[in-house]
Structure 1
Amino acid sequence: MSIGNANSPEEERPSTDDRPSIGHVLKQARIRAGLTVDEVSGTTRVRIPIVHAIEQDDFSRCGGDVYARGHVRTLARAVGLDPEELVERFDADHGGRPAPTSAAPMFEAERIRPERRNPNWTAAMVAAIVAVIGFVGFTLLGGTDADRAQPVAEGSASPQPAAPKPSAKPVAPAAEKPDPSDSAIAAAPRDLVTVKLTADGGESWISAKDHNGRLLFDGTLQEGDSKTFTDKESIDLVLGNAGAVQLFVNGQQIKDEFQPGQVERLTYTKDDPQPEEDAAQAG
């Protein structure tokens, strides 16, 4: 029986080679990039305790190997590393890549309750103004017709026609703001960020927010379904079973090779995809 302090997770795991561990590589890359754990957490949306645990090669707080793989991939990208190399090392250390599982049960814990929408008072006021203007116009036109229909007594002078009253100019109702379209977005507006998702390889759980953090969608896309989201600044996405999703940003297809069962947290702006991303995709 050995006596002493309990071994850390890094000491308990048998070393297969002399390379630094995954957590050590991520931590050193973060330090070289001049980033704090708080900054990495804010960029990737991986909680601070989980970032600390991964940098210490403790993946037990990730909630399973599928989540751990997704966190390793996300953190690697945030600190400027090749995510595929670290994910392959993680798979080798944890029994290989896990088989794809149903998206909805996996991400039930990440679902966010939809916000209760406030009444659209602007649309109600516009409708009320249009109704008042229409009523006034109808009253004016109806009064003119009634004056014309009055009989003239025999022998009396024919009344001079009254000057026509100006009719109220119809006011067209304000155009309602269109909902995000599910059609193709080849002509995406340049002053908005437009993101289109299509589940073409199975079902996938999706969460989307605008730049204010307001929830735009939270649910499962069945195979063949599409969703389009727009915002004036940015769209934040969480994709479950990302390998089943075809993604277009501002009219251009994002060709990242997402894997089945993979969790992706993404943010896109009006300037995406960046030129260097296009060059990497072309290569």
Structure 2
Amino acid sequence: MENRIDDNDRESIGALFRRLRLERSLEIADVAAETRITPEIIRAMEADDFTALPPLAFARGFYGLYAAMLGLDQEEIIQRFSDEYKRTDTVTKSGGLTAPSWQERHVGSMASPPSYSFGTIFGIGLLIVLLIAAGISWYAGYNPASQASKWLRGFQQPPAEQSVTADQQTPQPQALPNKPAPAGEAGVAPSEPLVPPATTPLAEGYRYLLVAEFQEDATISIAIDDQTKETVSLSRGTIRTWQARESIGLELPAETAVRLFLNGITLPLPPATDGTISLTIPEYLLD
């Protein structure tokens, strides 16, 4: 049965709710479990703290639920709440309702722009520039390591030889004497001068171009990128070319007579260890 409100008109709705709850020996938690209203809102309702309530449409519903639980007339409680609400300072001169304080705080925090430090903005900008530069280098096949090596080796180039007249010219010594060809094979003519490797273009997506000119027979081992290392036997005068995207690993006997060019630049051989010359590109360029 719903109870009519008669002699209780003098006390506020919040005081009425609190008195009836205590008369029934109910805790706020009991009311919250029954009505599904949070304890914070129940305390605000009993304290007549309208500024701590949610928007008016929701607040009317909460007052109706609380009234139904206490056996009060819901429509009468809701109408009485509306009248008390209008008498508070939340009514503007134009007759509109101002937002409750809790709503204003939340809306204000959502509207405030995020703050970023100068260091954060600078770091993000620098990262974007580096990513763009790396993408351009990859697309164009530009290798910073090989360019740095070329720049450093430019300081080590020997001075240009002075031009001499035809009478002053002397025969150039042979780099290595020609070995006799094995029995049953025709003699192999000395190798022609190697065409500058720089004229050989790199395929798209490749970073390293290794050219080897062998001036005597040799057996070498070579590994390109992540491929399995293979052993190759080459005869005197052979010119071989390999292209790689990431790395080149080369092993050859210490006494091998060979000239190496990497991306058009002469590549000196490292010292032999245990009778074997080993080098890995690009690590060898950075040593």
- State TM-score, norm by structure 1: 0.27
Flag the structure with more relative contact order, 1 or 2, with Cα contacts below 8 A and sequence separation at least 6: 1
Structure with larger Rg: 2
- State TM-score, norm by structure 2: 0.27
